[in-house]
Amino acid sequence: MKAAADAEVYGVIQEKTPDVPGMHPEFSIEENKEWEASAGLPRVVQPREEMGESAEAEVGAWIISLEKALEIAVKRNRQYQNRKESVYLQALSLTLERHRYTPIFSAVFGGQVDRDTRDVSEASTFSQATGLTGDVLGALETLTGQPADLLNQYQAIVEEAGALAGLDRPETRIEERYRSSGQTRAGVDLLLKSGGRIAVDLTSNFLRFLTGDPSTSSSSALVGNLTQPLLRGRGSRVAAERLTQAERDLLYALRDFTQYRKDFSIEICTAYYGVLENLDVVRNNWRGLQNFRRSVARERALTVEGRRTPAGLGRIEQAEYSRENSWIESVRRYRESLDRFKIQLGLSTDAPTVLNERELESLRETGLRHPTLSAEEAVAVALAARLDLYNEHDRIADAERRVGVAADALKPSLDFVMSGSVETPPGGNYTDLDLDRTRWSAGFDTDLDLDKKAERNAYRAALIDYERASRAFTLAEDNVKLAVRERWRSLEQAKRNYEIALKSVGLNQRRVEEQDLLAELGRATVLDQVDAQNDLTASENDLTAALVRHTIARLEFWRDMGILYIKENGQWEDVVDDAVERPSDVAAAR
């Protein structure tokens, strides 16, 4: 049964998939228990000194790339699996609605054995004996030709004496009877999209006495009925409304799932780069700490020579302690974010895994990939490509259809009804249907249904729902425009923040280099050294954060435009400006 349900559901989903851009036909809710997330992954060989005491624990851990993380999440994430199952259940509901318009066969069998008793009256032994005596006397008279009067008198005296003694009373005994009976019914029921219904049933009954009366009786009947609405409930637009809505609900579910896959991939990507960003903060803080240690050693030597005051040495030592605290805190944040990311992927927190640092280096090498579309061009594309907008637009048609259904309910009921039957002849075999004994009838059933308050209210409610659906669509359009413009501005801001952070890193690197030269000459101040090193570490962290924010903002921009397409493994397809410069082409592709 499970295999049959899966085959039908997956077939329905494949049927709908071409109508949903970005939806892959190879949809399945089955989890591959034998799939190993770590298969073929490289491992950590050398410990990273910036991880401090936890560095050795990472040796041997699997190194997960971004693409591999997306693949693992698609296969293991619990919420993702729940969303797939929701789509499956919606398709499963549609299979039932479709089934309602196919011939539905039924068969019922029943049989039983009954036992009952009855009283049977018999002549007493005395009566039987006197009866035999009378028969013998009659035979003697026949043989001798002479009447046996004396013997007859004796018999009469005996019978009279027996009667007075009650010996002639009849005897009653209990007789058991067993009988078997059975009933069978086979039929087919067909619901028509026009609102009609055809039903055909074949019934058979038999009765056989197993003991006592050996008689047997049986009968069969073939009965057919046709009902076709002529007013209320007539036509597929009304009668098949449930099926129509189920078809559209699956389409909506597939669109929603496709949109969810976009959100999910961006969510995993954001979390992945977030962990790497925390790791980069650890590395920057570690480098800053090493620079402070070198500065402290230099200042301590100058203090011994009398070229620095103990107060200045104490200040830079305090800065070293603060930087060490920041480094320790950043290690903690990194470890926690990595554990949370494991759970997000669907892995155990005990799984020895780290993320591939080359992903962040690749972003730095590539630099910003900034779209060149204007905000209004992006809005035009979004209005033509957003799947959620198509859902809202189609719900207007749903509401309009329901208005028609509610209006149909206000009509009186008028049904054409036809029935016919043929039975077996009396005493015939239950398989011998006598076509000469066919009976049929045809006529009309009507119900004026004068109390229409509930139907009136439902019709008015349907009109209100239609107005609400129309307003919801216009609101959705405005929200899409707002979201795209906001995302475009955020992307522009992320680009500017990156450019500023890049300049800031260069500036602070020169400041640190300058302070190092002045320190070697004995002309640097402790405050300037501390500020320069802290500002360099902060600007490096800001640069990484700005790069990650721009990358995520770009993906969110494509998603909000409706043109971010996700592959089966969760990886997105790269978007180039040439593919989105013609909004009309996007609409035509829909």
Of 447, 465, 493, the residue at which a domain comes to its end is 447
Look at residue 463 and tell me if it is in a domain: yes
Same domain? For 74 and 206 the reply is no
Same domain? For 271 and 388 the reply is yes
Same domain? For 515 and 439 the reply is no
Same domain? For 436 and 401 the reply is no
Same domain? For 438 and 479 the reply is no
Same domain? For 580 and 536 the reply is yes
Same domain? For 423 and 463 the reply is no
Same domain? For 405 and 539 the reply is yes
pLDDT means over runs of 10, the chain (590 residues): 92 93 88 80 89 86 93 92 95 94 88 72 64 59 58 61 62 70 85 91 70 64 91 90 94 95 94 93 88 80 77 81 90 94 92 91 86 92 94 96 94 92 72 77 89 93 96 96 94 92 90 80 70 83 90 93 88 69 46
Question: 0.85 exceeded by the pTM?
Answer: no
The CA angle 17-22-25, to the nearest 5 degrees, is: 35
pLDDT score at 531: 77
Same domain? For 463 and 554 the reply is yes
Look at residue 377 and tell me if it is in a domain: yes
Kindly give, in sequence order, each residue whose CB lies less than 8 Å from that of residue 517, ignoring residues fewer than 6 positions away.
none
Same domain? For 207 and 253 the reply is no
**Measured between alpha carbons, how far is 373 from 560 in angstroms, rounded to an integer?**
14
Look at residue 148 and tell me if it is in a domain: no
pLDDT score at 136: 56
Nearest to 555 by CA among 303, 272, 244: 272
pLDDT score at 137: 54
Look at residue 284 and tell me if it is in a domain: yes
Nearest to 286 by CA among 510, 500, 56, 541: 541
Look at residue 149 and tell me if it is in a domain: no
pLDDT score at 581: 46
Look at residue 379 and tell me if it is in a domain: yes
Look at residue 31 and tell me if it is in a domain: no
Same domain? For 227 and 243 the reply is no
Overall domain count for the chain: 2
pLDDT score at 588: 46
**What is the distance, to the nearest Å, from the Cα of residue 424 to the centroid of all Cα atoms in its chain?**
51
Sign of torsion over alpha carbons 550, 552, 556, 558:
positive
Of 429, 447, 465, the residue at which a domain comes to its end is 447
Strand partners, 282: none
Same domain? For 425 and 554 the reply is no
Domain that holds residue 217: 107-114+181-191+196-232+416-447
Asked if 204 contacts 218 with a C-beta cutoff of 8 angstroms, the reply is: yes
pLDDT score at 394: 95
Q: Residue 402 maps to which CATH number?
A: 1.20.1600.10
pLDDT score at 112: 81
146: tokens are 């002479």
3-state secondary structure 54-116: HCHHHCCCEEECHHHHHHHHHHHCHHHHHHHHHHHHHHHHHHHHHHCCCCEEEEEEEEEEEEE
